[in-house]
Amino acid sequence: MTLQEELVSLLHKEIKDAADSELYEACLEIVRQRSEQIPTVQGTKKVYYISAEFLTGKQLGKNLINLGLFDEMDRILKDNGKSLESVEAIEKEPSLGNGGLGRLAACFLDSIATLNLPGDGIGLRYHYGLFKQQFIDHKQHEIPDEWLDGSNMVRKTDITFPVQLAGKTYHSRMYDMDVIGYKGNKNTLHLFDLDTIDESIVHDGIQFDKTNIEKNLTLFLYPDDSDRDGQLLRIYQQYFMVSSAAQLIIHKEKEAGHDLHRLDQYVAVQINDTHPSMVIPELIRLLMMEGIPMKRAADIVNNVCAYTNHTILAEALEKWPLDYLGEVVPHLLPIIEGLDYAAYCAFSGNPDLMIIDEQNRVHMAKMDMHYSRSINGVAALHTEILKNQELKPFYNIYPQRFNNKTNGITFRRFLMHSNPQLTNLIDMLIGEGWKTDASHLEELLRYYNDENVLEQLENIKYQNKVRLANFIKEKENIDLDPNSVFDVHVKRMHEYKRQQMNALWVIYKYMQIKNGALPPRPITVIFGGKAAPAYKMAKNVIHLILCLQELINNDPEANKYLKVVMIQNYNVDKAEKVIPACDISEQISLASKEASGTGNMKFMLNGAVTLGTADGANVEIRNLVGNDNIYVFGRSSDEVIGLYNTSSYHSSDFYYRSNSIHNCVDFITSEQLCAIGDPAMLNELRDNLINKDWFMTLLDLESYCAAKETALMDYENRAWWKRKMLVNIAKSGFFSSDRTIKEYNNDIWHLR
């Protein structure tokens, strides 16, 4: 049967007569059937990538690409007056992640399968995901993200495991999603859930009874943990995930007849940040139940596990009170205490190295570092900071465990799927080798002086901008000019990422325009990102941006030169639409705070030029493209770390010293903005910037404005700018997650 015949037979009608939703079901069924036919990756050693988040994005398009069916399906639908894009729009995006950490996990699974390595993901099947973001009265509101409504690739299995929570037995059920490699075999993402979850207990947005574990356990990712019940719920979730994981692993190994004493020959466990850390004591416990003494079990687990650190922010380095753990997982307590005692004996009670601190809190990262064979950061600078600052005491005792694995992204999604025109151009110029070996992209440098190619690049960018403008018109009813510069700042909302600094630049530019200093070309500033529901300051920044959007876009004097759009509910799907249309990629975190960033890589790959600080992977981007093809500004990470260590940054100094900073900050509470927004929120934000500014916005504001001005001027030198685009694309091969996964495998997993 041809693909077209297959489609018709599933539809029971002509393609031209089918609705998009029917076509979606049929396409999904074809993917399922094809996937069933391809073999699961085989090997004697397998990695389990355990993560609280998997931000997979929509599956249909990506699976069609990896199965080699996308172009044919696209053509069949077009020939019948349909469009694959509209069919893909029916799918609901699995809302199983928050940001970079979750998307990294999804890119890694794609690369592991593509490289034909045995490796499964393990996570949770959150019914309502993180949350869905809505803007009402210029403020973020949270509602459940009902991604499970409708058909998807996740299927229920009949595999369950008993999990002890607070002395009661619950049964975790495994759901599976195929992870199809590009022209390769498949692996699995296992997502665990409870059969008893009751979605009807959610009310007033995302409120629910946090104590009813049977009904609430997997409702949301990262439920609010600002109170005791919330923290207990996080512990419940984490243990439920890792106990299911550990049981699955031991079950499979016993089934295969492997000697559990040699578990490290068959299994590697990658611990993605501290959320899955309890897998360490849980695996030890299960091995002890198999008759292995604790010391020996701990040694085995030590050789199996590897830990990745994704942030140096203290708030994200989890420390759980010992008595909370005692309440939820009393059976793990003797093991955790035993591990702590072993560290006490080995390191003479050095408090820096203890797992349990003087306040009886369990430091999950410290447990990870004592009981993992590898400890890695996610970009060169980040790993150096871990070794020399944040995790220094551990680097001193375990130097051989520390290693860097600079993050990567899958080009199958963030170029082939999201930017088909650029994909075609690259194919035409250098062939298709780059799809499996991204270093081939460097061959594009041959065209550095080829006017024709440069013009095509510019054209593709323009068409992507038109497409985004149409999308934003449809979704947000805002008119964008595709001839304006698209300046894009999309990522989780956090003070360290400094969206507020970009908002202050918007104010600065607005005031310039009002004073008659006009830019050579209109500028469109595009924001997108979710704020954690309990993170007040991040919500205040969203509020400021939305108020500026209202003020500026409706000011006939200004809106000819400047527009602001904040995209609602930024997610992977929207990322795929925004990134190909970007001219200037905003990566302006306070140096030292962004572990790596991965958006920066996606923009670069799509021909945007980075405006950023010397932070995370930006540093590696600069080394690759050279100073002519990136705009770097601001204080260095060493300077910033120095300022923290000596407590010598006072934002008020910057506020009072510079007139232009003063004016921009004061505009936040101007009559005009207060007439649009909530004066209390705006006041709180202005106050914070002047008196606290923990992430040093005002420190870098002036150098940021200067660098952005230079970038905007350079944009007018079109011949030069197009070359910058080309160099960025050509040099992005290093950031393929295939490269990253090869490094994980060579240095840590050793899969066979």
Q: Which of residues 339-378 bind ligand 26V (CB under 6 A)?
A: 378
Helix (H), strand (E) at residue 294? helix 294-304
99 binds ligand 26V (CB under 6 A): yes
Q: Is 598 a catalytic residue?
A: yes
Looking at the DSSP bridge assignments, the partners of residue 579 are none
From 103, 138, 275, 310, the catalytic residue: 310
Are 496 and 538 contacting, i.e. CB atoms less than 8 angstroms apart? no
101 binds ligand 26V (CB under 6 A): yes
Helix (H), strand (E) at residue 268? strand 267-272
Closest CA to 348 of 298, 398, 284, 397: 397
Q: Is 497 a catalytic residue?
A: yes
From 497, 509, 635, 724, the catalytic residue: 497
How many secondary structure helices (H) and strands (E) does the chain include? 31, 19
CA Rg value for the chain: 26
Q: Which is nearer to ligand 26V, 465 or 491 (CB)?
A: 491
Q: Which of residues 481-500 bind ligand 26V (CB under 6 A)?
A: none
Count of residues binding ligand 26V (CB under 6 A)? 19
Question: Residue 151: which residues within 8 A CB-CB, separation 6 or more?
Answer: 24, 25, 28
Kindly state the smallest distance separating residue 616's Cβ from ligand 26V, in Å: 5
Are 677 and 639 contacting, i.e. CB atoms less than 8 angstroms apart? no
Kindly state the smallest distance separating residue 410's Cβ from ligand 26V, in Å: 14
**Taking the alpha carbons of 593, 595, 598, 603 in that order, is the dihedral positive or negative?**
positive
594 binds ligand 26V (CB under 6 A): yes
222 binds ligand 26V (CB under 6 A): yes
Q: Is 602 a catalytic residue?
A: yes
| HSE toward the beta carbon, residue 136, CA cutoff 13 A | 7
Identify the residue among 585, 598, 688, 728 touching ligand 26V (CB under 6 A).
598
Determine the residue with CB nearest ligand 26V.
100
From 492, 494, 723, 731, the catalytic residue: 492
Kindly state the smallest distance separating residue 405's Cβ from ligand 26V, in Å: 9
From 285, 412, 509, 602, the catalytic residue: 602
Report the alpha-carbon distance of residue 541 to residue 546 in Å, rounded.
Answer: 9
Identify the residue among 61, 100, 276, 408 touching ligand 26V (CB under 6 A).
100
Kindly state the smallest distance separating residue 57's Cβ from ligand 26V, in Å: 15
Which backbone phi and psi does 548 adopt, to 5 degrees? -65, -40
Give the three-state DSSP class for 736: strand
223 binds ligand 26V (CB under 6 A): no
Question: Residue 413: which residues within 8 A CB-CB, separation 6 or more?
Answer: 57, 62, 107, 110, 576
Kindly state the smallest distance separating residue 97's Cβ from ligand 26V, in Å: 9
Q: Six-digit token pair at 400?
A: 């051989």
Kindly state the smallest distance separating residue 221's Cβ from ligand 26V, in Å: 9
Looking at the DSSP bridge assignments, the partners of residue 141 are 134
Question: Residue 93: which residues within 8 A CB-CB, separation 6 or more?
Answer: 57, 58, 147, 571, 572, 573
Binding part of the chain for ligand 26V, among 18-26, 38-46, 588-596, 670-678 by CB under 6 A, reads: 588-596
User: 10 Å Cβ neighbour count for 5?
Assistant: 9
Q: Which of residues 629-668 bind ligand 26V (CB under 6 A)?
A: none
Q: Which is nearer to ligand 26V, 276 or 597 (CB)?
A: 597
DSSP 341-402: HHHHHHTTT-GGG-SB-TTSEEEHHHHHHHT-SEEEESSHHHHHHIIIIITHHHHHH-GGGE
121 binds ligand 26V (CB under 6 A): no
Q: Which of residues 296-335 bind ligand 26V (CB under 6 A)?
A: 310-311, 316
Q: Which of residues 392-421 bind ligand 26V (CB under 6 A)?
A: 407
383 binds ligand 26V (CB under 6 A): no
Are 406 and 620 contacting, i.e. CB atoms less than 8 angstroms apart? yes
Q: Is 491 a catalytic residue?
A: yes
Kindly state the smallest distance separating residue 199's Cβ from ligand 26V, in Å: 22
Are 584 and 611 contacting, i.e. CB atoms less than 8 angstroms apart? yes
Q: Which is nearer to ligand 26V, 184 or 597 (CB)?
A: 597
Binding part of the chain for ligand 26V, among 96-104, 286-294, 352-360, 517-525 by CB under 6 A, reads: 96-104
What is the chain's length?
752
Q: Which is nearer to ligand 26V, 59 or 274 (CB)?
A: 274
Kindly state the smallest distance separating residue 519's Cβ from ligand 26V, in Å: 31
Q: Which is nearer to ligand 26V, 57 or 677 (CB)?
A: 57
From 598, 610, 613, 697, the catalytic residue: 598
**What are the distances in angstroms from CA 12 to CA 15, 26, 133, 153?**
9, 10, 38, 22
Q: Which is nearer to ligand 26V, 53 or 693 (CB)?
A: 53
Q: Which of residues 244-303 bind ligand 26V (CB under 6 A)?
A: 273
Binding part of the chain for ligand 26V, among 99-107, 335-343, 664-672, 682-690 by CB under 6 A, reads: 99-107
Binding part of the chain for ligand 26V, among 279-287, 574-582, 591-599, 670-678 by CB under 6 A, reads: 591-599
**Would you report the helix, strand and coil content of the chain in percent, each value rounded to 5?**
55, 15, 30
104 binds ligand 26V (CB under 6 A): yes
Which residue numbers are catalytic?
A: 310, 491-492, 497, 598, 602
Using CB under 6 A, list all residues that contact ligand 26V.
98-101, 104, 222, 273, 310-311, 316, 378, 407, 532, 594-598, 616
